[in-house]
């Protein structure tokens, strides 16, 4: 109990690392695919702003389990990811290594990409289409690599 506060300290550190890595990947993408100079600080601010999309997920979860699915167990809560491919397919009978990719494939991630594309298009003085190409080539590649690594570890340790 006396070390419980460490868990609260880890959350902002993990979010700082996550947003910094995403901003770094996007910085590399804008460096290679944009003629306009973009600073890391600008991209980091956009990443933090876009991260607010993911705050809708717990809100959806609370609403779903409070109003719609009132009888549930811990696995239902753990594997429920609103507006994702996993919600369509279901986690029962699915191989464990496929659960994470099905969770990542969701409408919140699409909204996140579109927000980042809008911000990058705005800052590079182009359009959202160009921003989406930068996001897909940089963040999309990094996300794909991340999902493959998680699938690999899940496959090896399950």
Q: What does the pLDDT look like over 86-99, one tens digit per residue?
A: 989 988 889 999 99
Look at residue 155 and tell me whether its pLDDT is greater than 90.
yes
* Mean pLDDT within 125-133: 93
**pLDDT at 12 (0 to 100):** 92
Query: Which helix (H) or strand (E) is 150 found in, with range?
Result: helix 141-157
Please give the residue that has the higher pLDDT: either 142 or 76: 142
Please give the residue that has the higher pLDDT: either 69 or 23: 23
When mean pLDDT is compared across 6-10, 59-63, 115-119, the lowest value belongs to 6-10
Q: Kindly report the number of other CB atoms within 10 A of residue 126's CB atom.
A: 17
Span 23-55, pLDDT tens digits: 999 999 999 998 899 999 999 999 999 999 999
In angstroms, what CA-CA distances link 124 with 6, 47, 128? Answer: 40, 15, 10
């Amino acid at each position: 109990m006396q070390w419980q506060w460490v868990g609260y300290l880890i959350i902002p550190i993990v979010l700082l690392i996550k947003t910094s890595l995403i901003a770094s990947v996007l910085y590399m993408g804008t460096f290679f695919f944009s003629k306009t100079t973009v600073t890391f600080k600008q991209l980091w601010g956009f990443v933090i702003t876009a991260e607010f999309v993911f705050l809708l997920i717990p809100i959806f979860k609370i609403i779903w389990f409070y109003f719609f699915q009132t009888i549930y167990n811990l696995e239902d809560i753990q594997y429920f990811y609103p507006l994702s491919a996993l919600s369509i397919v279901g986690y029962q009978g699915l191989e464990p290594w496929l659960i994470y990719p099905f969770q990542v494939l969701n409408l919140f991630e699409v909204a996140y990409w579109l927000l980042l594309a809008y911000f990058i298009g705005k800052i590079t003085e182009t359009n959202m289409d160009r921003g989406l190409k930068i996001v897909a080539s940089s963040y999309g590649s990094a996300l794909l690599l991340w999902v493959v690594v998680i699938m690999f570890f899940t496959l090896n340790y399950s």
